[in-house]
Each structure stands twice: as structure tokens, then as C-alpha cells.
Amino acid sequence: MSGKLESDSALKSALNVATASSAASKGAQDWFARLGAFFSEVKAGIPSKLNEPQFLLRLWDDNPVSATGNGTVKMAPALSYAGFREWFAEQVTTPLPAGDVEAETALIQLYDKLSKRLKALCGRTPV
């Protein structure tokens, strides 16, 4: 490889080389397995478990998608409140509009409503 990224194919080739070793590592393979199991767990739990605090706690605070860092929002106040859980379950099971623009608008509105509710219940808003 020449090091010049003057085309899409050159960039793709460079990315493949750069990620091949890290994606094949034991740590990455273990994470892929945990992530796949988590996605299966979430899929199996929707919508039946969306009103269960433990399931929601797993979604927010105990998932393998990303690591939580300093300054995270404590979700327990929201997740222990039945009114929030019922609202959240209704929101996330409502189908998105078919159009891309409409779906994006609906997701932005959900984010805004969720942010307001979490700030009121938890004292902070996750970012």
C-alpha cells in the first residue's frame, strides 16, 4: 500500500488493513459475542419487558454496547417510576413514520421529550 488515499478503493483498502487485526482480536470477538447476545435479549424483551425496571436498567446502565464513564446520569429514579416506564414503553413501540424525514422528525421529538422527562426525574439529562 502506497499510503495515498486518493480514491474510495484506496481508503477502503486502508481501513480493511487497519481494522483487520483489531476486529480479529480475542477481546473484539468476545465483545461481538456479548453484543449479539444483548441484541437478542433486547429483541426478545420488546415489548413484553418494557415496563420492567430490571430490563430497562440493563438497557441503560448494564449493556455491552458502550462503557459508562464519569458523570453518568443515575437512571434509577426514572426507572422506578411506573409512569415513566409506561410512557417509555408506549413511545418506543409506536411505529415510526414511513418517510425518512418524518421518521427523523419523530425520533428528534422522542429525544426531546425523553430528555425533559429524564431531567425532571433524574436531575440531569443524558447526552
pLDDT at 118: 92
8 Å CB contact between 77 and 71: no
Phi, psi of 32 (to 5 degrees): -55, -40
Please state the pTM of the whole predicted model: 0.72
In this prediction, what percent of the chain has a pLDDT beyond 70? 91
pLDDT confidence band for 1 (50 / 70 / 90)? very low
Residue 78 exposed, middle or buried by CB count within 10 Å (0-12, 13-18, 19+): buried
Q: Which three cell numbers stand for residue 37?
A: 447476545
Other CB atoms within a 10 A radius of the CB of residue 87 amount to 15
